[in-house]
């Protein structure tokens, strides 16, 4: 089954001409046809276009194919990243019929690397959510148990990789939206350092927090994807002109002498005992591989959720002001501009998006800016300083990715606070602007559901982070397990 293979395995077979890119894409299309009626990972896909891209890749393979690290590899795209002449709906009614006139920088990079850009993947509307239940179009299901959520906001991206519907996918991570669904769906999800990957062509939720990253079936594939996606982009003012190392070359399996920090604030009450046990077992595995475990403190962690939901909603309020019914997207009729705006946004935005816009507008309003937004920015600085201080003594930080495994569809829909707390271990990474990765470290029992291990690294320290993740992964078999759809 070609659709079950990792990128590294597909590259080898394609290079030897054992298989064609067309056969790989056809295998993924067949899998989508077979299982996506259960999973609902895809909002749309263009079969004809995917096969045309595959045929073009086969022509290149027949002649040369060198220098294109993703040649013939199908990569799914979260519906918040612009692909020219494809829908860009952000899973929202307000952009239901919008088609992107241009490619995001990451799409240009994927195409230059030879990837088959394949389909639009479901998400929480405008990336606001932790369960992919906030999509205006459908609820994505977890491939391990279709009565449960896949995580969010990049739930479609995680589910598609877990269900072998594509070899890899792109998501975006504002407060955990790559790492959390990767943990719940049992795949690898990488959130790069802020500024490592261009945000040009990413529909903004919270501009100082958003970062694009890959979902893959193992760490080696994540390293390859990151190498393709990374690099300075003058079209993104937040893109950092930092050199891009060979991430794959760092995966030598040797982590002897590296120091891994365990933050006491992340091992707290309320975490599922099975999650705690799996992470503690992973820590012992790291010790067995020669790493040194050090207890550390990130003392401002308790303020992370409150800080995030002030900063993120404030930025969302400003960014989503452009969806007003005037320039593009849904337009409702009104007797005057105010009525037009209110009717359009009322009909086009879902409940969670409205909630966050209202919260963000409130914290930015006259009389409340200093009390909320300015104070949150100061606390954010303290959170970042906690991490920078910790990284003076450790090479990476080890935590659970989520406090529990995947919960039931609808279980937390009526309690926004409980939903927000499902990101409690991932939010600080975005506030601090550091890099993070989630990878499988075990399963719960009754039912069998994936558990994620989170590793957090220094700013632009992805090479070391991936080295540590790869050493652990290769010493265990968790990443080889598949859901039985």
Res 448 pLDDT > 70? yes
In this prediction, residue 66 carries a pLDDT of 67
Return the pLDDT at 398.
98
Residue range 108-162, pLDDT digits in tens: 999 999 999 999 999 999 999 999 999 999 999 999 999 999 999 999 999 999 9
Residues 299, 385: Cα–Cα separation, whole Å: 10
Q: Which of 20, 92, 135, 153 is catalytic?
A: 153
Query: Is 223 a residue whose pLDDT tops 80?
Result: yes
Q: Is 78 a catalytic residue?
A: yes
CB atoms near residue 305 (< 10 Å): 17
Tell me what the mean pLDDT of segment 341-357 comes to: 96
Residue of 68, 78, 217, 467 with catalytic role: 78
Domain edges within the chain: 2-256
Q: Find the catalytic residue in 154, 157, 177, 438.
A: 177
Work out the average pLDDT over 401-416: 93
Using DSSP, state whether 469 is helix, strand or coil.
helix
pLDDT of residue 414: 83
The four Cα atoms 350, 351, 357, 363 give a dihedral, to 10 degrees, of -170
2-256 adopts what CATH topology?
A: Amidase signature (AS) enzymes (3.90.1300)
Q: What is the chain's Cα-based Rg? A: 21
Which of 187, 177, 41, 181 has its CA nearest to residue 122? Answer: 41
Q: Would you state the pLDDT for residue 450?
A: 98
C-alpha to C-alpha distance for 99 and 110, rounded to whole angstroms: 19
Q: Is 230 a catalytic residue?
A: no
Split at pLDDT 50, 70, 90, the class of 485 is confident
Structure confidence by residue, pLDDT tens digits, 297-337: 999 999 999 999 999 999 999 999 999 999 889 999 999 99
CA dihedral 304, 309, 311, 315 (to 10 degrees): 150
Beta-carbon contacts of 197 under 8 Å, excluding residues fewer than 6 positions away, are: 106, 211, 212, 213, 226, 229, 230
Q: Work out the average pLDDT over 272-288.
A: 97
Q: What is the pLDDT of residue 36?
A: 98
The predicted pLDDT at position 318 comes to 96
What are the pLDDT digits (tens) for 195-210? 999 999 999 999 999 9
Give the pLDDT band (50/70/90) at residue 65.
low
Query: Is residue 363 pLDDT above 70, yes or no?
Result: yes
Please give the mean pLDDT across all residues of the chain. 96
């Amino acid at each position: 089954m070609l659709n079950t293979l990792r990128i590294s395995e597909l590259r080898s077979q394609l290079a030897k001409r054992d298989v064609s890119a067309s056969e790989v894409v056809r295998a993924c299309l067949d899998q989508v046809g077979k299982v996506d009626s259960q999973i609902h990972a895809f909002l749309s896909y263009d079969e004809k276009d995917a096969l045309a891209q595959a045929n073009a890749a086969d022509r290149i393979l027949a002649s040369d194919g060198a220098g294109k690290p993703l040649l013939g590899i199908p990569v799914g795209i979260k519906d918040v990243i612009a692909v020219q002449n494809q829908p860009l709906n952000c899973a929202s009614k307000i952009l239901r019929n919008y088609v992107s006139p241009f490619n995001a920088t990451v799409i240009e990079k994927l195409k230059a690397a030879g990837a088959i850009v394949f389909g639009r993947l479901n998400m929480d509307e405008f990336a606001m959510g932790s369960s992919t239940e906030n999509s205006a179009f459908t609820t994505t299901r977890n491939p391990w148990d279709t009565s449960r959520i896949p995580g969010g906001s990049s739930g479609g991206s995680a589910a598609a990789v877990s269900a072998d519907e594509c070899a890899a996918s792109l998501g975006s991570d504002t407060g955990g939206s790559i790492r959390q669904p990767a943990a719940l769906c049992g795949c690898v999800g990488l959130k790069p350092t802020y500024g490592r990957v261009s945000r040009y062509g990413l529909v903004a939720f919270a501009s100082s927090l958003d970062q694009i990253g890959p979902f893959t079936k193992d760490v080696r594939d994540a390293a390859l994807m990151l190498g393709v996606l990374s690099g300075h982009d003058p079209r993104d003012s937040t893109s950092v002109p930092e050199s891009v190392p060979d991430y794959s070359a760092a995966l030598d399996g040797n982590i002897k002498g590296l120091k891994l920090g365990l933050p006491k604030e992340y091992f707290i009450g309320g975490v599922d005992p099975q999650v705690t046990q799996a992470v503690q077992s992973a820590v012992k595995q790291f010790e067995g591989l020669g790493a040194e475990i050090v207890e550390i403190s990130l003392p401002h962690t308790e303020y992370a959720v409150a800080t995030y939901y002030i900063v993120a909603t404030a930025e969302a309020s400003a960014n989503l002001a452009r969806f007003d019914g005037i320039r593009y997207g849904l337009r409702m009729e009104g007797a005057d501009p105010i009525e037009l705006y209110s009717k359009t946004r009322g009909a086009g935005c879902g409940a969670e998006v409205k909630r966050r816009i209202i919260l963000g507008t409130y914290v930015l309003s006259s009389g409340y800016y200093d009390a909320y937004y300015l104070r949150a920015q100061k606390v954010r600085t303290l959170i970042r300083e906690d991490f920078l201080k910790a990284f003076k003594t450790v090479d990476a930080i080890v935590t659970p990715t989520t406090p529990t495994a995947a919960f039931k569809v609808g279980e937390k829909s009526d309690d926004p606070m409980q939903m927000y707390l499902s990101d409690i271990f991932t939010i600080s990474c975005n506030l601090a602007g550091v890099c993070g990765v989630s990878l499988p470290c075990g399963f719960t029992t009754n039912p069998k559901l994936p558990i994620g291990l989170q590793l957090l690294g220094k700013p632009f320290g992805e090479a070391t982070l991936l080295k540590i993740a790869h050493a652990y992964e290769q010493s265990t078999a968790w990443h080889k397990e598949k859901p039985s759809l």
